[in-house]
Amino acid sequence: MLIPAAVQRRRGLAAVAAVALLLAGCKSSASADREAAVRSTSDSVAFTGCDKVACTGTLDGAGYEIKLPQKWNGTLLLYSHGYRQAKPAPPDFAPVTTAPQAAATDEVASELLAKGFALAGSAYASNGWAVADGVKAGEQLHDFFVQKVGSPSRTYVWGDSLGGLVTETLAEKHPEWIDGSAPMCGVLGGGNLNLDLALDITYAIKTLIYPPLKLTGYASYDEAVAQFTAAYNAIVAATKSVQVGVPKLLLIAALVDGPTQTARFDGSNPESQVGAIVESLVTAMGYGTFGRWEIEQRVGGNASGNDKADYAQRVSSSERALIETLAPGSTDRNLGALSRGIRVTADPTARAAFDKLGNPTGDLTVPTITMHTKADPLVLVQNETVFRQRVQSAKGRVGDLVQLYTVAPASYQGEAPYGAGHCNFTTAERVGIITLLDGWVRNGNYPATAAVTSAFMGDPGLNEAYAPGPWPATG
């Protein structure tokens, strides 16, 4: 019997609708099952121990490390380590490391294991700006854990510095298995913004302090290191001249809002502030020379430019007043030199390639807690401002983002205890951010003041009143 075409179409649509409803039901059931697992209060989840599983080894060229508690609460913490030099670098030219890390320190790992968390961390297949390698390593280690150790009820990703960028990239890419994210001192503004700022610093050093400095296109790693070393010596010499050299250093710091505190300098007096500024500039210059060499090899050219930078608008009235007290008239004179200098234009192909290596969109899908020291000389705290703006622009899911800041004491001897220096967090702060995230994901406890205070046990470094300003190049 011939069936009319219209009837065939109706039957076909009905079949499609039935399949769609079936799939929707399966999806809904799977989502409900996952939600139930995430919210589970069980503190004794089955797993296969290190006596039967290789808890150290190599996956596709990257070493990994897994640490398991005596009794597992079902949570896997997947850690991504920070930037590692591709080759031995100044100041001490220490050998590069390719060792895996399951947590930032052994002490942090010990405390988290005692709370029932399982820890896993990987090295990356390469050092340097290895964001893509870090993401791949995290994916492979997660899969290995699920297949060999046990099925997590929930997985949180966390990491430091470049590992913070890896962390957020993973979280945006894999909402199907990641339940919470905690990037710390992360490059959350992405590679291009931060490399542009490093170029601003090296350009200003070249223009005002050391004209022979080469800005891009180093012939070799050794040339980049030699350029850094020569410019460093010129900066040190500039500190000896209060009326000429120091005003130039203050101006360069003003262009990028360089911190006046570091782990070694508390900034409690003018000499200490200059010391902090020099350390910040030198730190950024390392990233902008031998760090740049590695990036340019990776992306095939120069990824940054300053051809559109307006340096005069970056100097605030208070910064100008300070400089003018030391050397009247020097601010405009030095800004004039910066405006007349030969600018650098990025290679569009290299810039696009660098952007693809890690640049968070802010499209959050899971609870996310970031943490940053106020005075970070390498990854400026204003990365957090950029990230928040992206979250607001993406879907407006600001409710899924909590940003925490640690502030150093007004004065300290020796190393800052917290709040100043790159990723200078205490063990209590690192354990606290995981405790806070876990309470949010598992129990729905939004990290309001009371929850933060409880998780951080009244940590003196945490400052909920602090908020960073805009990105230096935008205001």
DSSP code for 373:
E
The vertex-150 CA angle with 149 and 152, nearest 5°, equals 130
Torsion of CA 319, 325, 331, 332, to 10 degrees: 120
Q: What is the DSSP string of 264-286?
A: S---SSHHHHHHHHHHHHHHHHH
What is the distance between the alpha carbons of residues 271 and 28, in angstroms, rounded to a whole number?
A: 63
Distance of CA 351 to the CA centre of its chain: 19
Strands 62-67 and 56-59: antiparallel
Residues 6+ apart with CB under 8 A from 197: 256, 284, 380, 472, 473
pTM for the model stands at 0.92
Q: What is the DSSP string of 40-65?
A: ---S-B----TTTS-SEEEETTEEEE
Residues β-bridged to residue 181: 157, 368
Please list the pLDDT of the chain residue by residue as tens digits (475 residues).
334 444 344 444 455 455 555 555 655 666 777 788 888 878 889 999 999 999 999 999 999 999 999 999 999 999 999 999 999 999 899 999 999 999 999 999 999 999 999 999 999 999 999 999 999 999 999 999 999 999 999 999 999 999 999 999 999 999 999 999 999 999 999 999 999 999 999 999 999 999 999 999 999 999 999 999 999 999 999 999 999 999 999 999 999 999 999 999 999 999 999 999 999 999 999 999 999 999 999 999 999 999 999 999 999 999 999 999 999 999 999 999 999 999 999 999 999 999 999 999 999 999 999 999 999 999 999 999 999 999 999 877 889 999 999 999 999 999 999 999 999 999 999 999 999 999 999 999 999 989 998 999 888 999 999 999 999 987 5
DSSP code for 152:
-
Amino acid at 147: Q
Q: How far apart are the first and last CA of the chain?
A: 76
Q: Where are the domains of the chain?
A: 56-189+359-474, 192-353
Residues 6+ apart with CB under 8 A from 367: 179, 180, 181, 400, 402, 437, 440, 441
Residues β-bridged to residue 120: 66, 78
**Which superfamily does CATH assign the domain made up of 56-189+359-474 to?**
Alpha/Beta hydrolase fold, catalytic domain (3.40.50.1820)
What is the distance between the alpha carbons of residues 440 and 156, in angstroms, rounded to a whole number?
A: 12
249 close to 260: Cβ distance less than 8 angstroms: no
Residue 155 three-state SS: strand
